[in-house]
Amino acid sequence: MIVAADWSGRDPDHRPVLLTDRLRLDLPVRDDAERMARLAGDLDVSRWLARVPHPYRLRDAVGFVDILARQDMVWAIRRRDDERGRLIGTIGLVPLGDDAAEIGYWLGRPEWGHGYATEAATAVVRHAFGPMGLSRLVAGAFEGNERSLRVLEKVGFRRTGASLRHCLALGRELPHIDVAMAPPG
């Protein structure tokens, strides 16, 4: 028997807040747009992302918050020790049928190297395979993005192949390393 995943979290009013030791993952809001535009607008960030243009302007961030973050299951990543609750990146799941999704994430450059991406990805993977009931997650990274590949491997993804994927920021197809995982056990 195939059980469809619970995508009810796509409704922003029912999206769960995910907490880790150091992070709070919650719904991106319009107040995040200016910081999002500044962080994701850094070419050192956007060059590693498939769906983020460069330059990434305030209107792009507002459109993301108002429309795309509500269509897919996207969380703002925030440090719990930041009293102002400022966004440091985003992480999300894009549905691939009823029981699978693609996970994607980014962090602003000042937050690189602190383990936040691994911590956020671990929380989202647990949620995807737990309450949501997904049976498969896919992801990947552009060739050369070793940091992201290490994050994915730490969380449990395994390489499945290679492909070409379009990078909006650079405006061309780039070699992409594909990874996937099924629920543990």
Q: What is the CATH number of the domain that holds 127?
A: 3.40.630.30
Residue 172 domain-assigned (yes or no) = no
Residue 142 domain-assigned (yes or no) = no
Residue 95 domain-assigned (yes or no) = yes
Element (H, E) at 77: strand 73-79
Contact 90, 45 (CB under 8 A): no
Residue 76 domain-assigned (yes or no) = yes
pTM of the model: 0.93
- Domain ranges, residue 77: 8-134
Q: Closest by alpha carbon to 67, among 13, 115, 30, 116?
A: 30
Burial 77-105 (b: 16+ CB within 10 A, else e): bbbeeeeeeebbbbbbbbbeeeebbbbbb
Give the position of tokens 């192949």.
Answer: 161
Collapsing DSSP to helix, strand or coil, 43 comes out as helix
Residue 111 domain-assigned (yes or no) = yes
**How many separate domains does the chain show?**
1
Residue 17 domain-assigned (yes or no) = yes
Residue 45 domain-assigned (yes or no) = yes
Residue 31 domain-assigned (yes or no) = yes
How confident is the prediction along the chain (185 residues), in pLDDT tens digits per residue? 334 455 555 555 567 999 999 999 999 999 999 999 999 999 999 999 999 999 999 999 999 999 876 777 899 999 999 999 999 999 999 999 889 999 999 999 999 999 999 999 999 999 999 999 999 999 999 999 999 999 999 999 999 999 999 999 999 999 999 999 999 87
